[in-house]
């Protein structure tokens, strides 16, 4: 149960106000925060296992003009994995060609055997890291098959297949960035009962303004926010949609057993 925010556009745009608005959610989602800025080909990643509202680094960052072109942001409410920096998002992994992959996730993987082998290979203890390692493993298999780097279309195909394979019974509101493409997928329109009223508005929304696209778990400021297409993987390059997959039927609905499982995980933190 986390909150996601992402920006992708053709050129750097100042985001101080909307980022500050997003991080206000840390009064509920208080178990860590992070962001990754890929503007100009650089990878600046910062994350902490403390509430964003209590971060001196974040205060300093937003005290001066903050411009981004492609960037992702996250605040965490922990249900799987300890409250520690290794489990704060974004989480990152590198494929066989040296390409870095970064993920932010709002959801929980309750049951998917394909992640089991990554339990002993991950650095932290979150299901999101295992999810990322699973995707990058599938990318690596395709790289080995093709004997070289993959095209954007090939990478999209691998990511779409991986997310569809995981979607049944699992909450996968997720944003992934591979240095070129920003992938967006949401299969849940409802929050968790664990958060009561604070968790009701819990989907993924998008807003477009002047060639820049914004994605957020909940609408921010006064922009025109619309829900993203449900159960569909989409990919964007510098604000422009370049790929859209086919819709699947695995919308996630929280069950009583899911709640019990999350409470068991939360009590162990």
Question: For position 158, which CATH number holds?
Answer: 3.60.20.10
- Band (39; pLDDT cuts 50, 70, 90): very high
How do residues 177-233 score in pLDDT, each as one tens digit? 999 999 999 999 987 766 555 556 689 999 999 999 999 999 998 889 999 999 999
pLDDT at residue 55 tops 80: yes
Overall number of domains in the chain:
1
Buried b or exposed e, range 78-115, using 16+ CB within 10 angstroms: bbbbeeeebbbbbbbbebeeebbbbbbbbbbbbebeeb
Query: What pLDDT does 36 receive?
Result: 98
Query: What pLDDT does 269 receive?
Result: 47
Instruction: Please state the rounded mean pLDDT for residues 164-188.
Output: 97
Average pLDDT taken over every residue of the chain:
92
Q: For 83, phi and psi rounded to 5 degrees?
A: -85, 90
Instruction: Please state the rounded mean pLDDT for residues 242-266.
Output: 85
- Which DSSP symbol is given to 168? T
Query: What pLDDT does 194 receive?
Result: 61
How do residues 56-82 score in pLDDT, each as one tens digit? 999 999 999 999 999 999 998 766 667
Query: What pLDDT does 266 receive?
Result: 47
* CB atoms near residue 69 (< 10 Å): 19
The CA angle 6-177-16, to the nearest 5 degrees, is 25
Containing structural domain, residue 39: 2-267
% the chain with pLDDT above 70:
91
End-to-end CA distance of the chain: 14
- All residues at 6 or more sequence positions from 247 whose CB lies less than 8 Å from its CB, including other chains: 229, 230, 231, 232
Instruction: Please state the rounded mean pLDDT for residues 153-163.
Output: 98
């Amino acid at each position: 149960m986390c909150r996601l925010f992402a920006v992708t556009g053709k050129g750097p745009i100042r985001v101080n106000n909307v980022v500050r608005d997003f991080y206000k959610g840390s009064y509920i989602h208080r178990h860590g925060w992070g962001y990754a800025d890929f503007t100009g080909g650089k990878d600046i990643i910062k994350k902490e296992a403390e509430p964003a509202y209590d971060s001196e680094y974040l205060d300093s960052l937003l005290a001066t003009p903050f411009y981004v072109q492609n960037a992702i942001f996250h605040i965490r409410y922990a249900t799987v994995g300890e409250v520690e920096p290794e489990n704060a998002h974004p989480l990152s992994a590198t494929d066989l060609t040296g390409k870095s992959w970064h993920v932010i996730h709002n959801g929980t993987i309750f049951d998917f055997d394909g992640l089991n082998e990554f339990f002993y290979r991950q650095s932290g203890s979150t299901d999101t890291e295992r999810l990322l390692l699973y995707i990058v493993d599938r990318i690596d298999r395709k790289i080995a098959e093709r004997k070289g780097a993959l095209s954007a279309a090939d990478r999209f195909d691998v990511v779409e297949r991986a997310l569809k394979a995981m979607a049944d019974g699992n909450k996968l509101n997720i944003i992934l960035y591979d240095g070129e493409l920003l992938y967006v997928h949401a299969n849940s329109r409802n929050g968790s009962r664990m958060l009561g009223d604070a968790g009701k508005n819990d989907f993924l929304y998008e807003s477009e303004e002047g060639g820049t696209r914004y994605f957020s778990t909940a609408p921010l400021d006064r922009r025109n926010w619309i829900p993203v297409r449900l159960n569909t993987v989409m990919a964007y390059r510098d604000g422009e949609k370049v790929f859209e997959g086919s819709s699947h039927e695995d919308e996630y609905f929280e069950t009583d057993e899911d709640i019990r499982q999350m409470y068991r995980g939360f009590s162990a933190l």
